Structure formats: C-alpha cells, structure tokens
Amino acid sequence: MALLYLIPLINPKTLDKPHLPPAAVNFSRRHSSVKPLNAEPKRNDSIVPSAATIIARAEAVEKVEVEDYEKLAKDLQNASPLEIMDRALEKFGNDIAIAFSGAEDVALIEYAHLTGRPFRVFSLDTGRLNPETYKFFDEVEKHYGIHIEYMFPDAVEVQALVRSKGLFSFYEDGHQECCRVRKVRPLRMALKGLRAWITGQRKDQSPGTRSEIPIVQVDPVFEGMDSGLGSLVKWNPVANVKGDDVWNFLRAMNVPVNSLHTQGYISIGCEPCTRPVLPGQHEREGRWWWEDAKAKECGLHKGNIEEGNLKDNANGAVHANGTATHADLFSTHNVFKLSRPGMENLLKLENRKEAWLVVLYAPWCRFCQAAEWSYVELAEKLAGSSVKVGKFRADGEQKAFAQQELQLGSFPTILFFPKHSSRPVKYPSEERDVDSLMTFVNALR
C-alpha cells in the first residue's frame, strides 16, 4: 500500500535512496537548482492563459484517452505520494497546478518541492476565510519562495446573493448556493486555464463521498483549457494515505501548518461554516455541522458521489427514490427561470419579439453541472442583446412533457427559439464551451 512509502520520507537516513524518483534525490532547500515558476516576483490575478497560449499548447500537447488514465491509476495504486506527484508534474509541466485550501494539504506543496520540478499553486479566496488561514497563506509563500495564484468570486454575484438573502442564508437553505458563488465558479475559471489539477483528497476524509476516489482520473465534472468533459485530469496523490500519516509527514519535514489545527480544527473552510471537532468526531463533522453528515461537500469535488447513491438511465442519473436534493443551477439574473406555462407559450408563438435560448436541465445531472459556467458566461455575453436566455427544469413531473414537446433526449438539452419560427432548433453538439454555444446562437439569430 502507498502508506508504506511514507516511512522513507520521514526517515532522514533514507532520503537519498535510489528508489525515489531521480528528480527528488536532492531534498535540500538551500541547494535546490530548480526554482518554481510561480516564484517569479510578478503576480498573476488569474491562472487562465491568453488565447494564443491556449492554441499553442493545444497544438503541442496530444490528448490522452480516458482508458490510459484508468490504467495509470491502477499502475500507481501502490506508489508513494512523492512518486505520484513527480509523475503528475513531469507529465503536465506548467499546465498543472496544486489546489491549496490552507489546511493539511500543504503536504502537496511539500511533495512538489521535494521533486525538484517547477510547480504552481492556486487557492480560492472566498472572502470569508479565518484570519489564521490568510496568515498561513503568507507563511507558505515565504517558506517555499512561491506566489500562490489566488482566485476570487465575482463581486456582482456575491453582492446579489448577500443583498437578496443576507450574509448567513446558508444556515437556513443549505451551503450549496453560497459555495457555488464563492468557490465553485472561481474554481471553474482557474481550471479553464489548466490541463490537470492536484488535490489533497483522501479516502478517509468522508466515507459518504470520497471512499472511492482514484489516484488519477479524467475529471468527471470540470473542464480544462480544451473545453468539454474529458479535457481535464485530476490527480489525488494522497488518496490512499491516512490522515495521521499525513500529519506524521508534515511534522517530520518541519512544514508550516495552519494555527487553527492547534485549536481543534481539522478540516478547514470558511469561518462561518467551520468549527473545531470534539474528541472522537470525524474531521468533516466540523464542516457545515447543521446539515446531513453524508453530504459534507461544497461542490469542488462534485464527481465524488458514490455510484451506490445513484441509478443510471437514458437521461442521466437520479436518486434512487426519484427525488433531487441538489441546489439549483444557472442561478444568475441573466438567466430567466421558465415555468411550464412559459415553455408552452414559447412553443405556441410564431412571431416572437425576441429570440430565446433555453437549457433543459436537472440539478443533479453532472453534465448540467459541468455546463453551468459556460451557460452563465454565455448569458452574460448575450445580456442586452436580441436574445433572451432561459432555463427550464425538465426532470421529475416535467420530464414527459420535455421529451414529447421539447426534444429532450438527455440532460442538458439546449434549444434556440428563433423570432419567426414556431419550431425550436436543438443544439446538436456535445461541445458546451462558450465559443461553440455563441457560434450556434449567431448562426440562427
């Protein structure tokens, strides 16, 4: 098992043994000849590269099929976190970055440093983190000589949420909406500039959602710079490592840690949604403690839902009892929520004053979740134009109507209602990036 490989790392006498990757032989910070790319003095506000950079990389890097990563995950099942990290950085270079939350996943940065390879680190600043976490970010930057690439939520979206629901609405209606605005959408922006990302997920963190995470996988939800599902690879180097072993590693390597850990915090998130855990409690009990203990996720790892909780059918996946409890999608003032009568009226009108673009969706569908950012961004581009953007929830009791009258085959289905035609035009492609959707709209409006 991968746990056995931690022993050589915490024993100074074995740090130069030949079984480690060649690039990781020299662990001395003072004598390291490789400087991380993010150690340059100039900060970037976004890790999304320019269009020219994206095109150049797209031409230079060959896509790898899903099956290759399934095989790679099996090959690395018994590998050490250091070996996995080295493999990830070697394979993706500057197109991969470590997602750092300000908690014990600082171990990822230490492993990346030990490889001797250049590496990048990004973090999501929600604007509601603990003061101790911000101080920890600064300590990590100074300790490793790096610049963390911070991603921030959209100010207009945060303002709209707070003005309409207040500062603490998540205590009443669940944390998903707030997390989607402050964390998930900024994460989507970050990942759109990458081909792969590295997370600190472990199987023992949350038995309900993380018990089956692989070492490496094609990300089931988020998109990379090439757009579309399958365009991003997700690495989980410590997936098989126990929490206690991670902490043994951090202590042995004298790595800086968040001071909140000494106050009883284990899993650390935003200040209003995180509290210390009591002796004997699971580490995730300190997150969103007022909610169901089996759903301790913010949306950053949506693909973790166990297959046992879902059943597949031709239109995606639904809960075994037929109900959906996920937070709604496409929630922005630029996307109009349409009711059943509204959709029926659209179908009847032959001479509309404005064209409409409507997505038929289900909140629990991971393909709808993956398309959310692109659709919201498209709605922003079309705001004030001759095209209205809407959404219609087409699962549950509306599913039969959507299949019979709205050409629903699978979720999401996107329809364009031209001004002078009663028949909607179905978007025919699986490519749901903004440029592809805009091309479709421009060809018809």
pLDDT in tens, 403-442: 999 999 999 999 999 988 778 999 998 888 888 899 999 9
**Rg for the chain, CA atoms, rounded:** 23
Distance CA 416, CA 419 (A): 10
Q: Do 346 and 417 contact (CB within 8 A), yes or no? A: yes
Q: Tell me the mean pLDDT in the region 16-33.
A: 37
Tell which residue, 100, 367, 433, 98, has the closest CA to residue 234.
98
Distance CA 140, CA 269 (A): 17
Residues with active-site annotation: 365, 368
Does residue 230 register a pLDDT over 70? Answer: yes
Helices (H), 152-292: 155-165, 170-173, 176-179, 185-191, 243-252
Bridge partners of 122, per DSSP, are 99, 149
The 10s digit of each residue's pLDDT in 183-215 is: 988 998 899 999 999 999 988 775 555 467 899
pLDDT number for residue 65: 45
pLDDT number for residue 103: 82
Does residue 21 register a pLDDT over 70? Answer: no
Distance CA 285, CA 266 (A): 9
pLDDT band (50, 70, 90) for residue 59: very low
pLDDT band (50, 70, 90) for residue 66: very low
Neighbour tally for 196: CB within 10 Å? 21
Q: Do 199 and 302 contact (CB within 8 A), yes or no? A: no
The 10s digit of each residue's pLDDT in 248-274 is: 999 999 999 999 988 888 878 888 888
Bridge partners of 96, per DSSP, are 196
pLDDT band (50, 70, 90) for residue 226: confident
Whole-number percent of the chain with pLDDT over 90: 45
pTM of this prediction?
A: 0.62
Dihedral angle sign, alpha carbons of residues 279, 125, 168, 178: negative
The 10s digit of each residue's pLDDT in 277-326 is: 766 666 667 777 667 655 444 445 444 433 333 333 333 333 333 344 46
